[in-house]
Amino acid sequence: MAKKLYIKTYGCQMNVYDSERIAEVLAPLGYEATDQSAGADMVILNTCHIRERAAEKVYSELGRLRKHKNAMAAEGRHMVLAVTGCVAQAEGEEVLSRAPYVDIVFGPQTYHRLPQMIAEASRASGQVLDTEFPEESKFDGLPQARTVNGAAAFLTIQEGCDKFCTYCVVPYTRGAEFSRAATDVLSEARNLVAAGAQEITFLGQNVNSYHGEAPGGSAHGSEWNLARLIREAAQIDGLARIRFTTSYPAEVDDDLIAAHGDVEKLMPYLHLPVQSGSDRVLKAMNRNHGVDEYRRLVDKLRKARPDIALSSDFIVGFPGENDADFRATLKLVEEVSFIQAYSFKYSPRPGTPAAMMDLQIDEAVKSERLAELQALLNTQTQNFNNQMIGKTVPVLLDRTGKMAGQLIGRSPYMQAVVVDAPQNLMNCIVDVTIDAASPNSLMGTLNLDSRKACA
Ligand code: SF4
């Protein structure tokens, strides 16, 4: 009898990738994905630890799942309840003590061992906790074959972070930087294309610090950087588009800028978090770059690829941030002009240096600054979308629209594009002429005989 597996994923794309791999690890044990937690034989919460609210959400969700678990127990059935991701890694013991009905807690580095953990949990009366950073790489223990939902796929190439920004928990929850061997990445990319992917996004907490062992390289100690990996991946037949995220400004090298200039399959969109426009605040954040360095980088990127769209991350209300610092952030945003950006109020995270800093900013001031910043960013997004009207762009159609006969796709600049199109064009790249623009999407007309490539 197929067993039902429900995975709820919080947070970043790397958690999405891990959830997909976890499902592939459990498929040989007879687990099939379901979108209902009620009645599922196994429920896994893949958690995020970036902001306070994210962690607390996990405990309220566990409380809700406890009811399902008890209901199944009343019918003589057992639901295996597990927690993974960064909350599990950061506070595994606490999860087990605050939610003693949880069976398994495992970290992002140990899910290749899940079959053993399930066996152990069913044998032992106790709970299973595995939040190690194992010697062996989890990637070596994962199934080779990949499954793809739609035409776009994520592929983790690098994990962990050595930067220790003073507000961030990632170095503690994901460990030191690790780059996968180029051969393994390229073989997984080919498997994804064979399974229908036309667009692959390379993932890493610090993806552009990638330095993977070159094919046959360990003997010669040679490594590939991200630019080299992209150039090689671009040779894969059937792979139409390449993206990568998340980048660290100080690690954007000339090779990567050149790749943006001349690798056609590399999409003209770069997520380049800057966090603040004040050198004083960047220093307090321990960000290894200044504002001028960021400006120069943007200029070099735009020289190499004039139509490149930039997105970013911003934190307002970092400890000690004064009004002049915040004005400097607004000034940088005005100068660079972003297609979109994620912006947040500073949220103290337990165990991070910034949480212990003096001059914590009042919540009301943080909210005021966030509102002003987001108003400016929204204007920039609308301006970017408006200038697309009348242009024809290749769009990868990968979702159904709200209206009948409507499909939604992704432009090279990651914009959502809504178009009237027949269902048989799903997972195809087609040309669309943009007729209208809203803050969150573009509307367009299909160029009928423009089907470029299909999964
Ligand atoms: S570079 Fe990114 S992941 Fe690394 S510590 Fe800084 S914010 Fe966190």
pLDDT digit string (tens) for 362-379?
Answer: 999 999 999 999 999 999
Report whether residue 170 contacts ligand 1, using a CB cutoff of 6 Å: yes
Distances (CA, A) of 101 to 3, 80, 193, 407: 20, 9, 41, 43
Alpha helical stretches, state H, 265-424: 279-284, 291-304, 323-336, 363-386
Choosing from 50, 158, 206 the residue with most ligand 1 atoms within 8 A of its CB, the one to mutate for a pocket test is: 206
One domain, residues 217 and 313: no
Distance 216 CA to ligand 1 centre (A): 31
Quote the number of domains for the chain: 4
Length of the chain: 455
- In the predicted structure, residue 455 carries a pLDDT above the cut 90: no
**Residue 96: inside a domain, yes or no?**
yes
| Residue 344 CA, ligand 1 centroid: distance in Å | 15
Q: Examine residue 305 and state whether it is found in any structural domain, yes or no.
A: yes
* Ligand 1 lined by 361 (C-beta under 6 Å): no
Alpha carbon of 365 to ligand 1 centroid (Å): 25
Q: In the 8-state DSSP scheme, what is residue 294?
A: H
Q: Return the pLDDT at 426.
A: 93
Determine whether the shortest distance from the Cβ of 161 to ligand 1 is under 6 A: yes
Last residue of a domain, one of 387, 406, 429: 387
3-class SS of residue 385:
helix
Residue nearest to atom 6 of ligand 1 (CA): 165
Domain shared by 429 and 414, yes or no: yes
Q: Which two tokens stand for residue 211?
A: 């330095």
pLDDT at 139 over 90: yes
Q: Is the pLDDT of residue 42 over 90?
A: yes
Same domain, 328 and 410: no
Residue 151 lies in a domain: yes
Place of tokens 């087609």: 430
Nearest CA to ligand 1 atom 1: 163
Ligand 1, closest atom to CA 275? 7
In this structure, the answer to whether residues 400 and 309 fall within a common structural domain is no
With a 6 A CB cut-off, is 204 part of the ligand 1 pocket?
no
Q: What is the DSSP string of 66-120?
A: HHHHHHHHHTT---EEEEEEHHHHHHHHHHHHH-TT--EEE-TT-GGGHHHHHHH
| 341 touches 377 (CB < 8 A) | yes
| Per-residue model confidence as pLDDT tens digits over 140-195 | 999 988 999 889 999 999 999 999 999 999 999 999 999 999 999 999 999 999 99
**Are 8 and 109 found together in one domain?**
yes
**What whole-number distance in Å separates Cα of residue 16 and Cα of residue 108?**
11
Q: Is the pLDDT of residue 8 over 60?
A: yes
Last residue of a domain, one of 130, 160, 192: 130
Q: Are residues 263 and 273 in the same domain?
A: no
* Ligand 1 close to Cβ of residue 163 (< 6 A): yes
Q: Residue 276: which CATH number?
A: 3.30.750.200
Do the Cβ atoms of 342 and 377 come closer than 8 Å?
A: no
* Ligand 1 center–CA 16 separation, angstroms: 18
The range of the structural domain enclosing residue 442 comes to 392-454
Q: Is 114 in the pocket of ligand 1 (CB under 6 A)?
A: no
Q: Is residue 168 within 6 Å of ligand 1 at its C-beta?
A: yes
Q: How confident is the model at residue 295 (pLDDT cuts 50, 70, 90)?
A: very high
- pLDDT of res. 51: 65
- Model confidence band, residue 221 (pLDDT cutoffs 50, 70, 90): low
Instruction: Tell me, yes or no, whether 126 and 9 share the same domain.
Output: yes
Confirm whether 158 is domain-assigned: yes
136 within some domain? no
Query: 73-112 pLDDT, tens per residue?
Result: 999 999 999 999 999 999 999 999 999 999 999 999 999 9
**Ligand 1 neighbour 164 (Cβ under 6 A):** yes
With a 6 Å cutoff on the Cβ, whether 110 touches ligand 1 is no
